[in-house]
């Protein structure tokens, strides 16, 4: 089997993003340029036994326009983008549940596992979350630890924090209460 993906590169406030669409204009992969090696590894895992032919996109896609609008403040611009993924049935179930998390909302891995009817599968949900090939649009950054701490994000915790601040899910550093030393 052979798939053809079209690559676009776009600058964002948190680094150069790589996005791949297919011949039907469905979004297949998003990652950051500084993680390109990892992205290719994940693609091989997502599509075993498949030849993926990569081409530079000749024109901007609807996906790139929607992602640009997201970064410019229209947080729902990416909600209706059509995506297609490889992966296992379980991974696709987790990724579909991720798309139901609204901008500005965070949930725990346990809550995500509960939403798919598998509360005992927290670890498996975490692994599926980490294998998500379409970060941002399949918003794995909105999943945090049960203790409300930011936990792993393939693009780096600095990007996860920026995305959650952008969505007003967590306060920005300037809005967060400042720690005071005793006696000051």
Catalytic residues: 140
Residues, the chain = 184
Q: What is the DSSP string of 41-70?
A: HHHHHHSTT-EEEEEE-SS--HHHHHHHHH
H or E element, residue 15: strand 15-22
Helix (H, G, I), strand (E, B) or coil at 108: strand
Sheet order of strands, 27-32 included = 27-32, 15-22, 2-12, 51-56
Please calculate the CA angle 144-145-150 and round it to the nearest 5 degrees.
55
């Amino acid at each position: 089997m052979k798939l053809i993906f079209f690559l676009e590169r776009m600058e964002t406030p948190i680094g150069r993003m790589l996005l791949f669409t297919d011949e039907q204009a469905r979004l297949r992969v998003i990652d950051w340029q500084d993680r390109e090696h990892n992205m290719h590894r994940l693609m091989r895992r997502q599509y075993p036994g498949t030849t993926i032919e990569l081409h530079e996109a000749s024109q901007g896609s609807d996906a790139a326009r929607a992602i640009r609008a997201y970064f410019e403040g229209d947080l729902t611009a990416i909600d209706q983008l059509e995506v297609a993924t490889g992966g296992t049935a379980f991974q696709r179930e987790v990724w579909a549940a991720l798309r139901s998390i609204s901008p500005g909302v965070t949930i725990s891995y346990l809550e995500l596992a509960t939403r798919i009817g598998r509360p005992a599968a927290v670890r498996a949900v975490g692994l599926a979350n980490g294998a998500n090939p379409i970060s941002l649009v399949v918003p794995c950054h909105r999943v945090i630890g049960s203790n409300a701490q930011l936990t792993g994000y393939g693009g780096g915790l600095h990007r996860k924090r920026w995305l959650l601040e952008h969505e007003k899910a967590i306060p920005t550093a300037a809005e967060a209460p400042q720690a005071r030393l005793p006696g000051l």
